[in-house]
Amino acid sequence: DAIINLAKSYINLGSEKKAIDLLLTINQSDIQYANALYYISRCYRGLEEWENVPQYVNKAIEEYQKRINDLSNTEKHNLASAYISTQKYDLANVMLKSLLEESIRESERISLLHDLYSINEIQKKYNEAIKYGEKELILSSQMYGKSSLESQTVLARLIYCHFELNKDKEAISLLKLYINPFDDLIFEQ
């Protein structure tokens, strides 16, 4: 666990190469092996070395699936993210919805809602994406503030979905909120 946490710190600092070197020290028999593979795939994505991503993400999925009933919520979220990166959206969707029902920490809920939004946006299911995006925006605004980068990013993505659905009135309403984030949020909880 300490190696994984240190590697995640390296990733957050933009030192993906150091993280990869560290993660490669984790033995195949270690319970953290699947996590190591997953984070290596994330490092290669961050480095834009796309040719290395599939082998690690697919191996991570394989390792997670070997002990699917014993995965922590973080590992389940990692597996769902791995499914997203391999375009297995239905599997990711089921897993993320299940985690959302169990999750109590707001930061976890925001991350899960973000991923559910992304899956639906990628698949051009804009109404469904909006549903998750609105929930994410409420939580993000409460946790980080209405004018935070996190909230503004969610808002921009919601505007996009509304324009894609030709819901210009809603999009313009959100655009006004984007321009002046101190106006009251227009969503119900």
Q: Summarize pLDDT for 138-164 with one digit per residue, the tens.
A: 999 999 988 889 999 999 999 999 999
Of 20 and 1, more confident: 20
- In Å, how far are 35, 83, 97, 112, 157 from 122, measured between CA atoms? 25, 13, 17, 15, 12
When pLDDT is cut at 50, 70 and 90, the band that residue 176 belongs to is: confident
The pLDDT of residue 184 is 54
Tell me the percentage of the chain whose pLDDT exceeds 90.
84
The pLDDT of residue 119 is 97
- Per the CB < 8 A criterion, the answer to whether 78 and 86 are in contact is no
Q: Average pLDDT, whole number, for the chain?
A: 92
Tell me how far apart the alpha carbons of residues 53 and 98 are, in angstroms, rounded to a whole number.
26
Overall residue count recorded for the chain in this entry: 189
pLDDT surpasses 80 at 183: no
| Type of residue numbered 134 | E
Of 1 and 166, more confident: 166
Q: What mean pLDDT is predicted for residues 2-22?
A: 94
User: What does pTM read for this prediction?
Assistant: 0.86
When pLDDT is cut at 50, 70 and 90, the band that residue 104 belongs to is: confident
